[in-house]
């Protein structure tokens, strides 16, 4: 995806929008303590998460990952960290509480999964090393060696 192409701008707009969405959601909780009223078993589950402080942890994680995306700092790491919460939100909103009594949930859950999924696909080229079937250990302080083109696939020895 080259700078100046339409897709380049579309992906950056989606990144900016998803980051703003996460920031708003997390900051709203941090400033007001707002926990949405959800009927039935979904509400019980959200309340149970709040009782063990998991809900709060997710909201503060949303602030961090939202800032990472919004300001384009470590965006792939932010997407990966946010993905488990995204899947959880999608499942809860779409299959557990989504329906005629809560129509907003049918938009929120799929939207969250769509945004995170599209962005993960857009940035997935940076995960190439993580999905290779065989790798040698590479500590973070030697990470620049992963970008040396002369290295043979899966080795750190330039001689092969």
pLDDT, one tens digit per residue, over 58-96 is 999 999 999 999 999 999 999 999 999 999 999 988 888
Domain limits of the chain?
Answer: 6-122, 131-160
What count of residues does the chain have?
A: 160
Give the model's pLDDT for residue 57: 96
| pLDDT attached to residue 103 | 66
Single pTM value for the model: 0.82
Low-confidence ranges of the chain (pLDDT < 70): 99-105, 149-160
């Amino acid at each position: 995806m080259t700078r100046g192409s339409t897709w380049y701008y579309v992906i950056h707009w989606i990144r900016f929008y998803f980051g703003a969405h996460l920031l708003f959601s997390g900051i709203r909780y941090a400033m007001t303590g707002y926990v949405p009223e959800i009927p039935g078993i979904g509400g019980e589950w959200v309340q149970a998460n709040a009782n063990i402080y998991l809900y709060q942890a997710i909201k503060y994680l949303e602030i961090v990952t939202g800032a990472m995306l919004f300001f384009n700092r470590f965006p792939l790491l932010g997407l990966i960290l946010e993905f488990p919460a995204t899947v959880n939100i999608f499942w809860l909103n779409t299959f557990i509480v989504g329906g005629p009594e809560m129509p907003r949930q049918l938009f929120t859950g799929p939207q969250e999964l769509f945004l995170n999924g599209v962005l993960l696909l857009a940035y997935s080229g940076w995960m190439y090393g993580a999905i290779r079937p065989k790798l040698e250990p590479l500590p973070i302080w030697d990470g620049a060696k992963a970008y040396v083109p002369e290295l043979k696939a899966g080795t750190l020895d330039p001689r092969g």
